[in-house]
Amino acid sequence: MALSNLSSCCLFTPSPSTRTKTITSQNLPSSSTLRSSTFSARRPTRPSGRSSVGCRASVVEDTSKEVLLPPETEEEQAAGGEYDWREEWYPLYLTAEVPEDAPLGLTVFHKQIVLYRDGQGQLRCYEDRCPHRLAKLSEGQIMDGKLECLYHGWQFEGSGQCVKIPQLPEGAKIPRAACLKTYEVRDSQGVVWVWMSEKIPPNENKLPFFEHYARPGFQDVSTIHELPYDHSILLENLMDPAHVPISHDRTDWTAKREDAQPLVMTVTERSDRGFAGQWGRSRNSKLMNNLRFEAPCNLQNNLEFVDKKGVKQYFSALFLCRPAGQGKSMLIVRFGASTRSFLANLLPRWYFHQNAGKVFEQDMGFLSSQNEVLMKEKVPTKELYLNLKSSDTWVAEYRKWMDKVGHGMPYYFGHKTISLPKEPAVVEQNPAGLAAGISASFPAKGGIGTHHAPNPVNRYFRHVVHCKGCRKVVKTFEAWKKALLFVAMASVASAILASTRQWKVVFMAAAILLGAASYVCSGAVSLITTNFVRIHRRL
């Protein structure tokens, strides 16, 4: 998406704790080996290489060896060690955006959970299911710091114990089984993280820590976005700087079509926990960015340089991509810097938020279609992608990492192997799913009673319902719009009733100015809530 906004970086050096690991096929669990062999058996036979049927290229020589990524090395082909997707920390939400007075329903892969603050302001996380009749607790409410199911009023607190059942006879004890499955959460660097294992205690060493965001004076603009495609598609997109000049041409002050060019990419580290490397533009290869992907879903692109005054400056683009179910993802994006331009300090935060929404809408069409093709084809990306040396190194590295650890995921699409979901995705368009989505989303995510319904292609649903600041700005602009319009109409009436020409002119001029101000407020609301549409796609 926006990796190319960072133009240079210091030389990357792997830390001792994250040295490259050499992995042999002997480390691969038997279940994973069985899965790979099963896939190979059921996959339809395909000729080696790509089919040339229908491809009438005018090129005489085959330049594949020169421009395409080479076959995998032995190290890249090696399978990974033990991996369990549950024994990881996943980014749930920005801490500042967690509602104070309502539960928040979220998903990690296929697990539905509910997050809320108790009476002491402590974050609590449970399975999003009441043990009574399976109603979603995220549709409930907070009563005196307790989470109440709105079906029959059962209340829960602390470590998931039920503390109130209104229907129990006087003196009867609450059944021991009336308790919830709990998940450990941590608030770290402004992000709420959840440990998904119910059996293995949280591994604090795996809790991500991002050095730049702990620096004194480091400022960032953080946003949340709900997106209608798989988190692996999202990560691919975010680690692909080559698309930015084309897809986001003139969206901000850096992306320009004429800057599209070959990229220089070097992998410096590989392990079961991810990979790292450097990249830069071929026209200015001295300015190199540092990219690092860490399991399960954290991507950062960092830049360090010394400015004209001799002061070292730091910039960082951090992307936390949570798998939110089949064909769904939740992204926390943070752009941070040790210094900001004068113009950036003048512009309000909601302007940057709406611009981020615009960027994701520019990508949404082709990323959703890419997700659809992967699900239909049911083959690894090696058989579908045409990866270039000069642009797609990180994409290939990510899918190869999936090959290493995919045996520990609910489903995945790797470079050479895949594991399809065991259960089909829930059809959200059916009446039950739609009704549940609407009722669960508004109270939990702060819907303000407008006509906006949960819709993965609607900017209001994808971002504004997750952002207190943008909701407040929308509400304020709408209130001003109505007030200005009312006063404008009153000015028109006064102009009609005025006895002198002079007062008629004054009132009409005031009405015009007030109407224009109301229009500006309406435009601001539209800017925050309305999707971007490319000019050539307009009907």
pLDDT tens-digit readout, 87-96: 999 999 999 9
Q: Is 528 exposed, middle or buried (0-12, 13-18, 19+ CB in 10 A)?
A: buried
pLDDT of 474 above 70: yes
pLDDT of 381 above 50: yes
User: What local confidence, expressed as pLDDT, does residue 15 receive?
Assistant: 34
User: What local confidence, expressed as pLDDT, does residue 42 receive?
Assistant: 36
Q: How confident is the model at residue 57 (pLDDT cuts 50, 70, 90)?
A: very low
Distances (CA, A) of 103 to 46, 166, 222: 50, 21, 22
CATH class of 89-195: mainly beta
What pTM did the predictor assign? 0.84
222 token code pair? 């953080």
> How large a percentage of the chain has pLDDT more than 70?
80
Q: How confident is the model at residue 404 (pLDDT cuts 50, 70, 90)?
A: very high
Q: Is 390 exposed, middle or buried (0-12, 13-18, 19+ CB in 10 A)?
A: middle
Name which residue leads in pLDDT, 305 or 337: 337
User: What local confidence, expressed as pLDDT, does residue 436 receive?
Assistant: 54
Q: Hey, where are the domains in the chain? A: 89-195, 210-435, 453-529
> With left for phi above 0 and alpha for psi between -120 and 50, is residue 469 left, alpha or beta?
alpha
The answer to whether domain 89-195 and domain 210-435 are alike in fold is no
Q: How confident is the model at residue 81 (pLDDT cuts 50, 70, 90)?
A: confident
The type of residue at 144 is D
pLDDT of 37 above 60: no
Name which residue leads in pLDDT, 499 or 196: 196
Q: How confident is the model at residue 53 (pLDDT cuts 50, 70, 90)?
A: very low
User: What local confidence, expressed as pLDDT, does residue 330 receive?
Assistant: 96
Dihedral of the alpha carbons of 64, 66, 71, 75, in degrees to the nearest 10: -170
Q: Which CATH code, of 3.40.50.720, 3.90.380.10, 3.30.1490.190, 3.40.50.920, is assigned to 210-435? A: 3.90.380.10
φ/ψ (deg, to 5) at 222: -115, 140
pLDDT tens-digit readout, 105-114: 999 999 999 9
**Mean pLDDT on 71-80:** 59
495 token code pair? 């102009």
Highest mean pLDDT among 71-80, 123-132, 451-460: 123-132
pLDDT of 452 above 90: no
Q: How confident is the model at residue 66 (pLDDT cuts 50, 70, 90)?
A: confident
